[in-house]
Amino acid sequence: MYDQILIPTDGSTETEQAANHGLGLARTYDATVHALYVTDTSEYAAVPEADAREQLRTAAEKAGRRATAEVVETAAEFDLTTERGIRQGTPYEEIFDYVDERDIDLVAMGTHGRGGRGPDLGSTTLRVVRNVDVPVLTVRFSEDIHLDLESHYGIFDDVLVATDGSDGSMAAAKQGIGIAEMYGATVHALYVVDTNTYVFEDVPRSIVGILKESGNAGLDEIVEMGREVNVEVETSFRRGRPSQELLDYVDENDVDLLTLGAHGRTSEVHLGSTTERVIRTAEQPTLTVR
C-alpha cells in the first residue's frame, strides 16, 4: 500500500516523533524513505544585505543536511532504501511538488515544526493536509512518548476508523483497514451523529432518521471491508459533538491510530472542522485522507 513515504523534517524534536512513525511504517511496508528539508526563503528574503542573506542560506542548508542525515541514518539501520532532498522555497509548495515528482504514497509529518507546540495546527501541516492528494500521517509531539523502532510491529494494535458516510471517510477506512491488516490490529469503526443537528427546531425527524441510516450503512460497509481481508472490526454508534466523541472513544479503548477523511460531507475545499480539531488535539497519530 505504501511504497514511497515522505518525511518532511526540520531537525527539531517537534518533528522527531512523526519521523519515527513514518520510519516504522516504512519498515512494515518495506518502503523507500524520502527525507525532505525545505529552507523557507521568506525567513531571510527581507534581509537587505546580500552577504547576510547568503550566510543565512548557507546555515539553513547545513541544518537541512544534518536533519535529513539523521532520518537517513536511522532508516539505514533497518536496511531501508532512502533518498534525501534539500530545497528552497515555500515549505508546503515544495512538499506538494516533491509528492508529485516522486510518486509519494504517504506523508508523515509533525503537527508543528520547530518551536511550535500550541493548540493551533502549524501552517505548513494544515496546508498539506488540506491539499495533498495522498494520505497524511500527522503526529503531535508529546514529551511523555518514546517510540522504540525495534518494536515497531506492535505500534498499532487498535485502529479507529471514523466515518460520516462521505467518500473521504470511506477512503480513510480503506487505509485504516489496510494498516490494521499489516499489523494484525483490531479496527474500531465509529459513527457519530452530530447532536448540533437537533438544536434547529425546523430540522425534520426524517432528516435525523436519514443520518442514522447513513451511519449504520457506513458501519456495515466497513465491517464488510474488514471481513474481506480477515480484519476484526468492532462498530460503535454515538451521539454528540463528533470531535469530542472521537477523542473520548480513543481514550476509552486505548486506540493507537486514528483514520478519518480530511473533508466531511459538506466541504471538499476546507479541512473539516472535526478533522482539524482531532489532529490538533489527539495524542495519537492521525491519518487523514482526501
Span 250-263, average pLDDT: 94
For 139-192, write each residue's pLDDT tens digit. 987 665 555 666 555 589 999 999 988 888 999 999 999 999 999 999 999 999
Give the pLDDT score at 41: 81
pLDDT at 110: 92
The gap from C-alpha 287 to its chain's centroid, in whole angstroms, comes to 4
**pTM, whole model, 2 decimals?**
0.89
Other residues' Cβ atoms within 10 Å of the Cβ of residue 213? 11
Distance CA 290, CA 270 (A): 11
Beta bridge partners of 153: none
Q: Is the pLDDT of residue 109 over 70?
A: yes
Where does 4-139 sit in CATH, by number?
3.40.50.620
Q: Quick one: pLDDT band at residue 208, thresholds 50, 70, 90?
A: low
Q: DSSP per residue over 29-57, as a string?
A: HTPEEEEEEEEEGGGTTT---HHHHHHHH
pLDDT band at 270 (very low <50, low <70, confident <90, very high): very low
Alpha-carbon distance 62 to 64, whole Å? 5
CB neighbourhood size of 172 (10 A): 26
Residue 14 has pLDDT above 90, yes or no: no
Confidence of residue 11 (pLDDT cuts 50, 70, 90): confident
* Residue-level pLDDT at 206: 54
How confident is the model at residue 191, as a pLDDT?
Answer: 94
Which residue do the cell numbers 442514522 mark?
212
Say whether domain 156-289 belongs to CATH 3.40.50.300: no
What is the helix, strand, coil percentage profile of the chain, to 5?
Answer: 50, 20, 30
Q: What is the mean pLDDT of residues 67-93?
A: 94
Handedness of CA 129, 132, 135, 139 (dihedral sign): negative
Q: What is the pLDDT of residue 47?
A: 65
pLDDT score of 117: 46
The whole-number pLDDT of residue 215 equals 79
Q: Work out the pLDDT band at 210, boundaries 50, 70, 90.
A: low
What pLDDT, on a 0 to 100 scale, did the predictor assign at position 5? Answer: 98
Q: How far is CA 213 from CA 167, 172, 191, 219, in A?
A: 16, 20, 11, 10
Burial 248-271 (b: 16+ CB within 10 A, else e): ebbeeeebbbbbbbbbbeeeeeeb
Greatest mean pLDDT among 191-200, 204-213, 241-250 lies in 241-250
Q: What is the pLDDT of residue 58?
A: 78
| 3-state SS, residue 287 | strand
Residues of the chain with CATH 3.40.50.620: 4-139, 156-289
**Residue range 187-207: average pLDDT?**
71
Residue-level length of the chain: 290
**How much is the pLDDT for 119?**
47
Using alpha carbons only, give the angle 93, 97, 101 rounded to the nearest 5 degrees. 175
Contacts of 171 by beta carbon, 8 Å cutoff, 6+ apart:
261, 289, 290
Using DSSP, state whether 10 is helix, strand or coil.
coil
Mean pLDDT calculated for residue range 263-287: 75
Rounded Cα distance, 246 and 46, in Å: 43
Give the residue with greater pLDDT, 193 vs 81. Answer: 81
Whether pLDDT at 267 is above 80 = no
Residue type, 242: P
Largest CA distance in the chain: 69
Q: What value does the mean pLDDT take over residues 16-45?
A: 90
Sheet of strand 186-194, all strands in order from the earlier edge strand to the far edge: 82-89, 32-40, 4-8, 106-110, 136-139, 286-289, 257-261, 158-163, 186-194, 233-240
Q: Are strands 4-8 and 32-40 parallel, antiparallel or unpaired?
A: parallel
